[in-house]
Amino acid sequence: MKKLAPALIIAALAMLPLIGLNTYLLHILIITIMWSIIGMAWNLLGGFCGQVSFGHAAFFGVGAYTSGILYHKLGLSAWWGMPVSIVVVALFALVIGFICLRLRGPFFALGTLAVGVILRITAENLTGITEGNLGIMIRERTWVDKTWYFYIILTLAVLVFILIKKIIGSKLGYYFVAIREDQDAAESLGIDTTFYKTIALCLSAVITGLAGAFYTSYMGYIDPKVVFALHDISIVVIMVVMVGGVATYWGPIIGSAIMVLLAELIRSIPKLGAAHLTLFGLLLIVIIIFLPNGIIGDIPKLKRLLGFRKSL
Amino acid sequence: MTPLLELKNVSRFFGGLAALTDVSFDVRKDEILGLIGPNGAGKTTLFNVVNGFYAPSKGEVFFKGSRISGLKPHRICALGMARTFQVVKPLQRMSVLDNVIASAFLRAKNKAEAEAIATEVLLLTGLNDDRDVISKGLPLGKRKRLEIARALATKPELILLDESFAGLNPTEQNESIEIIRNIKGNSITIMIIEHNMKVIMSISDRIMVLNYGEKIAEGSPDEIRNNPLVIEAYLGETQNA
Amino acid sequence: MTSVQLEVLLQTIISGIFLGGLYALLAIGMTLIMGVMKIINLAHGELMMVGMYIAYALFSYFQVDPYLSVFIAAPVLFGLGVILQKFLINPVMKVESILPENQVILTVGIGMVLANLATIFFASDYRSTPVSYATKAWYLSDFWKSSPIELSISFPWSVSFLIALLITAILWFFLTKTDLGKSIRATAQDNDAALLMGINVNRMRVITFGLGSSLVGAAGCLFIPIYYLYPDIGGQFTLIAFVITILGGLGSTVGAIVGGLILGIFESLTATYVGMGWAPVGRFIIFIAALIFIPGGIVSLFRKLRFGR
């Protein structure tokens, strides 16, 4: 049963458009799946390999701008951004890794945060290539209907999920977790920690970049403040993983569903909209204090807490 | 015959302080070399220099005839030298088996092979019954053995053991002595730091003594036992203590 | 070099030094917290933003001069820091979790809440305190009639700079001459040893977080006569403080001062010679260069000089 669960969930999701969801619900689904992908990518680097990144917007943004620039400057379809961004983002990740991976723990986190901000400012100022704050508009939309976007992002999500599961069960996965648990021990056991951290970073970055490239095609408009956003991307992806469950397979998916629904809920209540960051921040604080390993990671703790309440 | 490990005039400074001064010695193939000295004598620093965590400030380290000083720890480990830590560093949230598999991957082509190496090592170190325990939950004695198991899984020619006996009760100590004899039986050379004199005298072929970062004596256990410099170094310590 | 070019260069360096002095005050708070608690406070800039809004509110409603608000903002921020440390950060330091970075993420959450609350209470408009001396300046020609070049020094900048120097001097006195200050430094150097010496390490942590917060609150009061204020201003200052801390050396007060000055001058030069928008990029180039070339920060260079290796 447990083995079949993923297949059943995917099949159920794939059927959804057939029953005629309205555009809004389909949009929510697409965004949720996109965030699960970014969350899975972050989790590979942060949760499994222990390198917490505060700058994943950098990779999302580079992916998004790869699509945007291919369309805007070279007149190609923005969809070419997806394959091309793999190469571009991987190169970026190599450079960023060279700089930031010499830092450990929180200092790595802040290094990546700085990189994210540098890229945003660069995109704002290099108007000749990025159009700066005007942003890039994709004028010809591939489909008016959202169904195909849904299938594309769902396929990508399934592939990423399988890829990560394969990686974690292999030598790479063992090395990533060993690095997270104790970098000195890992190094002395013959693990080239710099090399494997770079691999984790590149994989994570490329997956995030793919989501970014998809975002450009799907939303049809990007600007530096949106795709390189510190709070709305780099921090939200951390929340997605923290809420769902660090270093779990399903955590990012659960986390993304909760975060997207929560964001929509807050937006729909008129007076609350302005306070959405306060509520997100409070949620983050509460999760860190009470469920530091997320909903999936702390299932035993949750069960205990709920069971305890029942017995009262 | 070239020695397995050779240190030539190695010094290591921290800021202005010398943790090691002009230390030279070699480790011969198939022997057990004991390393003793009062607290703060520089024993662990010496291991850190040998296994690549610190580069020597002066001097050179040779392993199997080639220079290894300046190489990173993972390269030195790949060349065939493994170590344990005085303060145990298990991969806390991994099971005992996974801990050992992670280091067995250094020589294994695939997971099945890594698991086979790991099982072999767990049997040798008497941890096979605990293979599914999450290592954070292991008692200290078994965590010390897990350190040894992980080091062995990298199939080393030389293994550096840093106080693998500290904090063990007499039964556990005897088990560990047995394990170390078994390791030697598998023709793995051993260099061991140990405070427990009875243990070190009984298992070592030769012993080297460090005090204040300098080598003050080297010889057979009997020679060391009767060396006036060594007695002074240790008496000095007991008087302070 | 023509005299105009020379004027521009000198003017740029002077404003760089002023900016650097303020940056140093900002970074000292962060480096203190980092030294004692071994955590990075990513709500640091947001705490400064709170200090700025306190000065702004006092000025708008009670016509209190921003420089006098230091005496109110600093204690208020001290209290806020103590509360945050006692009830949020300290509990998390004890929680067992996969990622030790939880504490850092927690401070991000605190920063988000503070910035958002500021938006709710003050709206996201740009605010300023239109003090009478805002545009006053000293000119070199007023003091030296026959000066071949003309330099001007903004009055609020120079006052802010001098107060920052004064606060730094008081802090230095506190840390080196008083028992409490010495205990804080001991805790920063070696937590366990401090504990063995009978220092109440937990109390030192609370006090340090309060102290760091009050310093950055004071810095906020010094910035408001110069900068426009808006709720999201904090993030960039958190980054500045962090960049200086890396540049100067983690936990080092001297490093924070030198690093602050270097960054201030460098940013000022980038703004003049490359373009205003690029000043933040210059900041990060320094950051990356520091990471690659002087991983221990400027303090480590000092130490090397002293020991000759």
Q: Give the number of domains in chain C.
A: 1
Kindly indicate whether the domain formed by B1-80+158-168+191-241 is annotated with CATH number 3.40.50.150.
Answer: no
Of C42, C97, C281, which is closest to A293 when you measure between CB atoms? C97
Subunits in contact with chain C (3 or more CB pairs closer than 8 Å):
A, B
Q: Confirm or reject contact between C130 and chain A (CB < 8 A).
A: no
Domain boundaries, chain B: 1-80+158-168+191-241, 84-155
Chain A residue numbers with beta carbons less than 8 Å from the beta carbon of B114 are 171, 174
Q: Do C43 and C110 form a contact (C-beta atoms < 8 A)?
A: yes
Does residue C150 carry a pLDDT above 70? yes
Q: What is the CA radius of gyration of chain A?
A: 19
Chain B residue numbers with beta carbons less than 8 Å from the beta carbon of C303 are 15
Confidence of residue B40 (pLDDT cuts 50, 70, 90): confident
Chain B residue numbers with beta carbons less than 8 Å from the beta carbon of C98 are 93
Q: Which of A99, A110, A133 to mutate to test the interface with C (most CBs of C within 10 A)?
A: A110
What is the block-wise mean pLDDT of chain A (312 residues), using blocks of 10 residues? 73 76 87 96 94 93 93 85 92 91 82 86 84 83 82 93 93 94 90 94 96 93 88 88 91 93 84 79 87 82 68 43
In percent, the amount of chain C with pLDDT more than 70 equals: 98
Q: Which of A17, A48, A19, A49 is nearest to A33 (CA)?
A: A17
CB atoms A188 and B73 under 8 Å: yes
Confidence of residue B239 (pLDDT cuts 50, 70, 90): very low
Q: Confirm or reject contact between B136 and chain A (CB < 8 A).
A: no
Does residue B50 carry a pLDDT above 90? yes
Residue of A nearest to C90 (CA): A289
pLDDT at A101: 87
User: Is residue C268 situated within a structural domain?
Assistant: no
Q: How far apart, in whole angstroms, are the C-alpha atoms of residue B138 and residue B125?
A: 14
Lookup result for tokens 């500021």: C118
**Hey, what are C82's tokens?**
């103590």
Lookup result for tokens 């976007």: A149
Q: How far apart, in whole angstroms, are the C-alpha atoms of residue C272 and residue C16?
A: 10
Chain A residue numbers with beta carbons less than 8 Å from the beta carbon of B111 are 169-171
Chain B residue numbers with beta carbons less than 8 Å from the beta carbon of A184 are 53, 85, 89
Prediction ipTM score: 0.88
Strand B158-162 relative to strand B189-193, pairing: parallel
Does residue C279 carry a pLDDT above 80? no
pLDDT at C306: 67
Does residue B65 carry a pLDDT above 70? yes
Q: Confirm or reject contact between C304 and chain B (CB < 8 A).
A: no
pLDDT digits 0-9 by tens, B94-131: 899 999 999 999 998 899 999 999 999 999 998 999 98
Mean pLDDT to the nearest integer, C285-303: 79
Strands in B66-67's sheet, in edge-to-edge order, are: B17-27, B5-14, B58-63, B66-67
pLDDT at A10: 79
Strand, helix or coil for residue B70 = coil
Task: Assign residue C63 a region (left: φ > 0; alpha: ψ between -120 and 50; beta: otherwise).
Answer: left
Point out which residues pair with B218 in neighbouring strands.
Answer: B208
Domain boundaries, chain A: 5-229
Q: Confirm or reject contact between B93 and chain C (CB < 8 A).
A: yes
C71 to C45, C129, C172, C227: CA distances (angstroms): 19, 17, 18, 20
pLDDT at A11: 79
Q: Which of A256, A223, A239 is nearest to A64 (CA)?
A: A223
- Interface A:B, Cβ pairs < 8 A: 78
pLDDT at A90: 95
Q: Do B157 and B189 form a contact (C-beta atoms < 8 A)?
A: yes
Cα three-residue angle B219-B238-B143, rounded to 5 degrees: 75
Domain of residue C117 covers 3-231
Of B15, B57, B93, which is closest to C303 when you measure between CB atoms? B15
Mean pLDDT to the nearest integer, C169-195: 87
CB atoms B13 and C309 under 8 Å: yes
pLDDT at A294: 84
Confidence of residue B35 (pLDDT cuts 50, 70, 90): very high
pLDDT digits 0-9 by tens, C21-50: 999 999 999 998 888 888 888 899 999 999
Chain B residue numbers with beta carbons less than 8 Å from the beta carbon of C309 are 13, 16, 57
Residue of C nearest to A230 (CA): C235
> Comparing A150 with C135, which gets the higher pLDDT?
A150
pLDDT at C307: 59
Q: Mean pLDDT in chain C? A: 86
User: Is residue C238 situated within a structural domain?
Assistant: no
CB atoms B51 and A190 under 8 Å: no
Q: Confirm or reject contact between C305 and chain B (CB < 8 A).
A: no
CB atoms B78 and A190 under 8 Å: yes
pLDDT at A165: 93
Chain B residue numbers with beta carbons less than 8 Å from the beta carbon of A186 are 91, 102
Q: Do A120 and A225 form a contact (C-beta atoms < 8 A)?
A: yes
Confidence of residue B237 (pLDDT cuts 50, 70, 90): low
Q: Which of A232, A252, A234, A231 is nearest to A243 (CA)?
A: A252
Q: Confirm or reject contact between C145 and chain B (CB < 8 A).
A: no
Strand, helix or coil for residue B161 = strand
CB atoms A99 and C288 under 8 Å: yes
